[in-house]
Amino acid sequence: MNFLKFLGMLLLFAMVAIGAGFYTIDQGDTAYGHKLIGLSTLFIFFVIMPLFIWTRYKDKDLSKFNFNQKKKDDEDEDWDVDDKSRWN
């Protein structure tokens, strides 16, 4: 089975658990319902989301997403502090 399908199934399970938590709150057991919703939300954000991000970006070249894409030769330019022509 594909790993993304497995993550999708885990997400579906977490969403069902959140729905069950809301149903439990509606039936009167608010403490257990809130725990179920909270744990499911934590599971989504601390387990499923990092695994999804890792899966999607594990073989990608992320070097082109840098802010500083200049070569080292361009960084050695000398700036004249008193040159006001570049201020226009």
Express each pLDDT in 26-60 by its tens digit: 999 999 999 999 999 999 999 999 999 999 888 88
Is the pLDDT score of 16 beyond 80?
yes
The two tokens of residue 21 are 């938590």
Residue 63 CA, distance from chain mean position: 19
Alpha-carbon gap, residue 72 to 69, rounded angstroms: 9
Give the pLDDT confidence score for residue 78 in this predicted structure. Answer: 61
CB 36, CB 16: distance < 8 Å? no
Distance CA 65, CA 67 (A): 7
- Rounded CA-CA distance 13/11 in Å is 5
Q: Please report the pLDDT score of residue 75 as a whole number.
A: 52
Angstrom distances, CA of residue 79 to CA of 51, 69, 85: 46, 19, 12
